[in-house]
Amino acid sequence: MSRESLVQQFRDRFHKDPDHLFFCPGRVNLIGEHIDYNGGRVMPCAISLGVSLAASKNIDKKIRFHCVNFPETAELHLQSSWSKSGKEWFNYPLGVINELVQREFPVSGLDLLYEGNLPIGAGLSSSASIEVLTGFALREMFGMEISRENLAILSKKAENDFIGVNCGIMDQFAVAMGKKDCSILLDCDSLDYEYLPFATGEYSLVVINTNKQRTLADSKYNERFAECGAALTILKQEMDIRNLCEADRAGFELHRNLFKDPVLEKRALHVISENGRVNDAVIALQTGDLEIFGKLMYASHQSLRDNYEVSCKELDTIVDFCKANDNCIGARMTGAGFGGCAIALIAKKSIHDFTDELTAHYHEMVGYKPDIFQTSAEAAVRRI
């Protein structure tokens, strides 16, 4: 939706012009999958798709939530706290407002209209985008003294405590802190981070939504978390480590005989090798070697498929197609797995042909079509 259309929608609903317009991107994780809870570092970037917000204060002492993408609306009186009610979309921004009010930041009545082009439930961080967007908007509108880093932490807390989803910090941090043509190398525990160049030159970053619902993602996430803990306990018998990512590949191979359960062995192998791939990816980006980066993406997917077992037919179909395509230098699943999205680096000159050919191949193999988006590493939440 264009800026003009969003403003007109706001006029139609609230019978006035909005005083402020904001945008928050979604994100993808370029490499470093399922290692953040094992002491590893992730490499997300903000993308061009995201969520927009038209906003104004009101004197009615009410907070009104509307969204172009959903029919549900809410009108709530200002008060000292709120609780989640149902599963409607507006609980996400309400949770952030609740956090701000609990911290005694001043909030008045608000008229809020959201609109997004992020596919819901595809693993591109739509919930984190709307959370950080809301916090940033209120910071700007009310002159709140709160850093972008703390907006990310506050938004994560809202999702953990108010929504009840035990997410990590990567999503909120990426959309609050992203930089154009950069990825973020982030330690999710310490929040130490650095920016790495990710200007893709003659290639485009392409997001491919499988359109498969990730029905297994949550339960399998918990299962993998427990398996990694068990693998760590085994390696601690001979290695002085606090988490799996402190073990290097040589140390793992030296003590691989400790594993009696092949499943735990494979889980440890993925985590340790993926952590190594992130370290190699840092060098690849610092030296501008996108082809090496692409090979690391393929290797990451193979490990996620074979060792961590979080891929699926839909994701494998996409990555296998990319491997056979001369105009693609790298592809992998991104996110929790079992559906959601893959990402790929595609020569800009062949985007149209790639899209047509992949769509036809995927439909033949899977039975329905993917959605394919050309994007890039973009700036974080901002005014528009």
Measured CA to CA, the distance from residue 277 to residue 285 in angstroms comes to 12
Quick check: 56 pLDDT over 70? Answer: yes
Q: Decide: 347 and 327 in contact? Cβ < 8 Å.
A: yes
Mean pLDDT of 303-326: 97
* 52: Cβ contacts below 8 Å, ≥ 6 apart: 1, 3, 6, 21, 22, 23, 114, 115, 116, 384
pLDDT digits (tens, 9 = 90+) for 252-289: 999 999 999 999 999 999 999 999 999 999 999 999 99
Residue of 136, 67, 126, 124 whose CA lies nearest to 97: 136
Tell me the average pLDDT across 57-84. Answer: 96
Alpha carbon 311 to chain centroid distance?
Answer: 17
Q: What is the pLDDT of residues 87-108, one digit of tens each?
A: 999 999 999 999 999 999 999 9
- 213 has pLDDT over 80: no
248: pLDDT strictly greater than 80: yes
Q: Write the pLDDT tens digit of every residue in 142-162.
A: 999 999 999 999 999 999 999
C-alpha–C-alpha distance, residues 19 and 349, integer Å? 41
- Is residue 217 over pLDDT 80? no
Hey, what domains does the chain have and what are their CATH numbers? 3-198 (3.30.230.10), 203-375 (3.30.70.890)
Question: What is the distance between the alpha carbons of residues 311 and 304, in angstroms, rounded to a whole number?
Answer: 6
Whether pLDDT at 1 is above 90: no
First to last CA, the chain: 13
pLDDT at 122: 80
pLDDT reported for residue 123: 78
Enter the pTM of the model: 0.94
Q: What percent of the chain has pLDDT over 90?
A: 91
Asked if 244 and 381 touch (Cβ cutoff 8 Å), the reply is no
Q: What percent of the chain clears pLDDT 70, i.e. is strictly above it?
A: 99
Confidence of residue 240 (pLDDT cuts 50, 70, 90): very high
Q: What CA–CA distance (Å, rounded) separates 359 from 7?
A: 34
Catalytic residues: 171
How many CA atoms does the CB half-sphere of 142 hold within 13 Å?
21
Specify the 3-state DSSP secondary structure of 238.
Answer: coil
> pLDDT-derived band of residue 215, with 50, 70 and 90 as boundaries?
low
Which one-letter amino acid corresponds to residue 357?
Answer: E
Residue 370, amino acid: P
- Separation of alpha carbons 226 and 104, rounded Å: 38
